A and B are shown apart, each in its own frame.
Chain A
Amino acid sequence: MKTAHRSAMWRRSGTAYLFLLPWLIGFFGLTLGPMLGSLYLSLTKYDLLNAPRWLGLNNYRHIFTADEYFYKSLTVTFKYVLFSVPLKMAFALLVAIVLNKGIRALGIYRTVYYIPSLLGGSVAIAIVWRQIFDGEGLINHFLAWFGIEGPSWIAHPSYILSTIVTLSVWQFGSAMVIFLAGIKQIPADLYEAAQVDGAGKLRQFGRITLPMLSPVIFFNLVMGIINSFQVFTPGYVIGDGRGGPVNSTLFYTLYLYLKGFSFFDMGYAAALAWIMLIIIGLFTSIVFVTSKFWVFYGDGKDGR
């Protein structure tokens, strides 16, 4: 009895592990070693060219007590996450709902809107973005028709971050596809029942769509937070690659990269990386902990 139960368990989790195998091999074979290596480096002074020198926690102490750029880069990154994640998700949800209204050739739209997600992280798109938002770029030509003289969006510290947020919102595709799949899962009879009871569209959205979608929202939120914290390419390409103008594109990862590869301080950069890991972990766990209050699983796991 007991053994039969165990073997059934094993069969089930064994299948799961089998599917996880590629990731596990990658993690233990490739990722784990460098991670531990960077943990060691974070406790040393390592200038890339000479052997690391043991420092203990000095790198961490310096980061928290004496590094102005650390706090600046955190501020820039937080601002970015705060704006880009909700905007991108709202936009993705909106488009998903529109596409769900039974448009013809849905497949084509889905593909077209998904493409930016594939391209968005690339250097080429960042360069295109630079051209569009340049002082004499497309956007300003457009504004000029209405007699508005637009600033140089990519060269002014007050505007450049919003340019980069726009770029990230434009990559709403992958979140949208997941939302779309989620919406299609919602049983139509719920809406029919609501309609019979006289609930309006808005009420249906608030009481049916959102709760039924909450697991998908949860997933997109977690992925969005993790990805946004690691933003690098747009800061490197659209900005001047050194965090300028006036540190307005000094994303955390860019600062880390500069410290490690340009300023010859890989130990310090490794310490920064570990702090980033902890920050991302913290935010993800906050979302996980709060999820039981707002994520609704239709399979009745939560007793409803």
Chain B
Amino acid sequence: MKKSLGLTLSVLLLAATTACSGGNNGKPAAAGNSGGAGAADQVELRIMWWGDQKRADKTNEALRAFESKHPNIKVVGEFAPNSGYFDKLNTQLASGTAPDVFFLGGNVTDYAAKSVLLDLQPYVGQELDLTDMDQTMVEYGTLGGKLVHISAGANARGMVLNTELFKKAGMEVPADGWSWEDYARISKEISDKLGKGYYGTYNFTVEGMDIYMKQRGKQVYDMEKDALGFGQQDAEEWFNYWYGITKNGGMVTPSLQVSNPPGDTSKSLVVTGKVAMSLIPSNQFAAHQNLTQDKLTMIQVPRGPKGTGVVFESSQGLSGYAKTKHPKEVAELMNFWINDPDAAQILGSDRGVPVTSKMRDLLMKEATPLEQTVYDFTSRVSEATKKEPFAVSYNPPNFTEFTKLAETAVQEIGFEQKDVKQGVEDFYTGATQLFGAK
């Protein structure tokens, strides 16, 4: 209590990182020398990612494979759970001790705007081969005219359904092409039929907001104008929709949503068979299914006027630290990540489907039935976006603060401290100020 957790952690980290850099003389590798074993200067890279132990094991295995192919490079991995990852990264960036390579998600814009990311353009075609990478993914990683982000996997968001609960309720498992009205109705029906302690859906007002806006030709963040891309009225409709499901009993109680958040797979009530439906990114499907005997499946999100609003997009990717002493090796590591068959086989689709077509084909050939479910789903999304295309979107700047505002509004409405109108008004005012202030 006397010392805050975060501060203690960062002090420990600082100690650890200085210890690391002490062992490495910080000499850049001599070019063209890497072939001669022993003669080459040793280079040490640090890489950081978020996720669970399982992901860490796989990632470390891939890093060892990289080391065996590049004997002059040693890679030290660090990881943190989702919740603390970005605080940790921010602290390290501030003190100038950030890892050479780190993972970023949709918030890559925040970091690109603060110019802490390495421009990878000089290495393209040399250490970094992008010929086989999806063009949209290359564009996604190009911000402000610089290539600063290499996607490590693509995914599409969709609904995860616990089919066991549908069976128990004697209901048919829904299919693609349903509407939001269907969704509300089915949620209520499941709750009613299964009785106390069972619910139709999680509340994903915040996570699904951008999808809903896109379905109506709007967006959460208008990058060109650097402003919100939706009006207060739009937000109110969306919040009202969820309030309706809360009222008719189709949704988990706000308390359960807090104690068993859908984002925490180990606690998710979809996994424990208490909630029938939720919104997840497709790369999370395996993590869910692996924790339960109930058969889960994925279908597309309910449709709005313009379609589903979901595109196949980067789930997360690698960025280099602008101050790294070994930019060339950083590029080599990224190249290994997206182009090397060994890497693809070790990493699988834990961070999403591979972004290079050769690796994708390789994994699909050997897909387990579980992975097959995910590929089926993502290919249906790809097909749908051919007919109804949507632009890939970026998170608004200060996304953490934006999310906090939105989640507070959802909870205030859920715990009945504010009505929908008031809650949305406060959220919208706060969100608008985020753009004014910075």
Contact = CB atoms under 8 A, between A and B. Distances in A.
Interface stretch (B166-174, B235-243, B399-407): B399-407
Interface stretch (A21-29, A102-110, A193-201, A239-247): A239-247
Nearest to A256: B4
Contacts of A134: 259
A264 B401 CA distance: 10
B83 A241 contact: yes
A296 interface: no
B2 interface: yes
B6 A261 contact: yes
B114 A49 contact: yes
Contact of A234 (B1, B110, B259): B1
**Interface of A (DSSP majority class):** loop
A247 B408 contact: yes
B4 A257 contact: yes
B90 A242 contact: no
B65 interface: no
Contact of A232 (B1, B258, B404, B411): B1
A134 B103 CA distance: 33
Contact of B114 (A47, A152, A231): A47
Nearest to B96: A49
A279 interface: no
A121 B259 contact: no
Given A242-B407, A266-B94, A230 B1 contact: yes
Contacts, number: 102
A258 B93 CA distance: 16
A53 B4 CA distance: 27
A121 B2 contact: yes
Contacts of A215: none
A240 B84 CA distance: 11
B252 to A, nearest CB: 11
A276 B404 CA distance: 23
Interface stretch (A154-162, A175-183, A206-214, A283-291): A154-162
Contacts of A48: 90-91, 93-94
B6 A257 contact: yes
A262 B87 contact: yes
A242 B400 CA distance: 10
Interface in B236-258: 254-258
B259 A152 contact: yes
Contacts of A231: 1
A208 to B, nearest CB: 33
A227 interface: yes
B417 A157 contact: yes
Contact of B1 (A121, A152, A247): A121
Interface in A253-304: 253, 257-258, 261-264, 266
Which of the four size classes fits the interface of chain A? 35 or more
Nearest to B94: A48
Given A155-B258, A257-B4, A262-B90, A244 B408 contact: yes
B94 A232 contact: no
A50 interface: yes
A246 B259 contact: no
B407 A232 contact: no
Nearest to A72: B408
Most chain A CB within a 10 A radius of its CB, from B259, B398, B404, B412: B259
B114 A236 contact: no
B435 interface: no
14 contacts: A47-B114, A48-B94, A49-B114, A135-B259, A152-B259, A155-B259, A168-B1, A232-B4, A233-B5, A240-B261, A242-B404, A246-B417, A257-B87, A262-B86
Interface of B: 1-6, 83-84, 86-87, 90-91, 93-94, 110, 114-116, 254-259, 261, 398, 400-401, 404, 407-408, 411-412, 415, 417
Given A237-B5, A245-B254, 13 more contacts: A48-B91, A49-B94, A49-B115, A49-B116, A50-B115, A123-B5, A135-B256, A152-B255, A154-B259, A156-B415, A157-B411, A236-B6, A261-B91
Task: Please provide the 6 A-B residue pairs with the shortest distance between their CB atoms, ordered closest to farther.
Answer: A121-B1, A155-B259, A155-B258, A48-B94, A155-B255, A232-B4
